[in-house]
């Protein structure tokens, strides 16, 4: 079985957020980690590898610095790492991102593709399902449990108040939730090997099944018009009311702020 896990390097929420003048994130200036949902997806792939035997390839699109997450994945037990990087691919929205990643996946053999549910920076949860559309394969999102049954996968898909058990023939795509599992740690020896391991790097020229109209900032149907930091909360106010009135007051405030 061949599994490809798509991972993204995202800013560590512990560090500050930096923007470029065009409204996109200045990724080079921020602390970076492997996106938590993707890490769960990778752990799911490694468990399938432990249980059924599989070759796990990890794919990412990003700055050259994104090789860090590939090396982390290798140190956890993945077999191969592929970095898709090119200046012309920068500033992509979900359409351009999924078009590019799908073009890279077309160069690979796969039975299963695993992505995270969503990345903690963009928070769209669009790229996984869009990749499956580009590749014309089924998608099961929000996976909380994955099993293999012959040439099919059986997946529990999380809903707000229940879960569905879905079965799909491979090849297919699954988007994983960070609640799915607890990702394993790297090992010290795994790190030493991963740092010396060769990472395959593909640029625009390597992605033959990709249309220039669908890449980068220019190929993105959506553009970020403006980005700003959250407005800071002002100082609290002290109100003296009797208990009855205070309930009404608090409910009123919560409604006014669209919290309830």
Interatomic CA distance for residues 257 and 254, integer angstroms:
5
Q: Could you tell me how many residues of this chain bind another protein (CB under 8 A)?
A: 14
Per-residue x/- track, 27-66, another protein (CB under 8 A): ----------------------------------------
Per-residue x/- track, 168-207, another protein (CB under 8 A): ----------------xxxxxxxxx-xx------------
Residues 107-126 that bind another protein (CB under 8 A): none
Between 183 and 216, whose beta carbon lies closer to another protein? 183
Between 106 and 184, whose beta carbon lies closer to another protein? 184
Residue by residue, DSSP assigns 132-145 as HHHHT--EEEEEEE
Between 70 and 104, whose beta carbon lies closer to another protein? 70
Q: Which residues contact 235 (CB under 8 A, 6 or more apart)?
A: none
Between 76 and 207, whose beta carbon lies closer to another protein? 76
b/e map of 78-95 (b: 16 or more CB within 10 Å)? bbbbbbbbbeebbbbbbb
Between 37 and 93, whose beta carbon lies closer to another protein? 37
In the three-class reduction of DSSP (H, G, I as helix; E, B as strand; rest coil), residue 9 is classed as: strand
Site for another protein contains 14 (CB under 8 A): no
The distance of closest approach from Cβ of residue 252 to another protein in the complex, given in angstroms and rounded to an integer, is 34
The distance of closest approach from Cβ of residue 39 to another protein in the complex, given in angstroms and rounded to an integer, is 12
User: Helix (H) and strand (E) counts for the chain?
Assistant: 6, 11
Interatomic CA distance for residues 114 and 175, integer angstroms:
6
Among 75, 78, 101, 112, binds another protein (CB under 8 A): 75
Interatomic CA distance for residues 67 and 51, integer angstroms:
27
Q: Are 176 and 145 in contact (CB under 8 A)?
A: no
The distance of closest approach from Cβ of residue 30 to another protein in the complex, given in angstroms and rounded to an integer, is 16
Residue 97's nearest CA partner among 252, 231, 220 is 220
Chain residues binding another protein by CB under 8 A are: 71-72, 75, 184-192, 194-195
């Amino acid at each position: 079985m061949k599994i490809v896990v798509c991972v993204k390097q995202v800013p560590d929420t512990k560090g500050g957020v930096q923007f470029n003048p065009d409204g996109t994130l200045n990724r080079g200036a921020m602390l970076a980690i492997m996106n938590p949902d993707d890490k769960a997806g990778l752990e799911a792939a490694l468990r399938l590898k432990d249980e059924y035997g599989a070759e796990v390839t990890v794919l990412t699109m990003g700055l050259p610095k994104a090789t860090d997450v590939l090396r982390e994945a290798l140190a956890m037990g993945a077999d191969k790492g592929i970095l898709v990087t090119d200046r012309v691919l920068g500033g992509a929205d979900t359409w351009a991102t999924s078009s590019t990643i799908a073009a890279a996946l077309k160069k690979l053999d796969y039975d299963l593709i695993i992505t995270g549910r969503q990345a903690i920076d963009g928070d769209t949860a669009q790229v996984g399902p869009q990749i499956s559309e580009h590749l014309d394969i089924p998608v099961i999102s929000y996976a909380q449990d994955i099993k293999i049954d012959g040439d099919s996968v059986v997946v529990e898909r999380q809903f707000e108040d229940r879960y569905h058990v879905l079965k799909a023939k491979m090849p297919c795509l699954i988007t994983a939730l960070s609640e799915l599992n607890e990702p394993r740690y790297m090992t010290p020896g795994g790190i030493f090997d991963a740092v010396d391991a060769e990472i395959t790097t593909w640029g625009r020229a390597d992605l033959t099944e990709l249309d220039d109209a669908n890449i980068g900032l220019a190929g993105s149907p959506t553009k970020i018009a403006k980005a700003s930091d959250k407005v800071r909360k002002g100082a609290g106010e002290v109100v003296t009311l009797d208990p009855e009135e205070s309930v009404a007051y608090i409910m009123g405030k919560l409604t006014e702020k669209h919290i309830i």
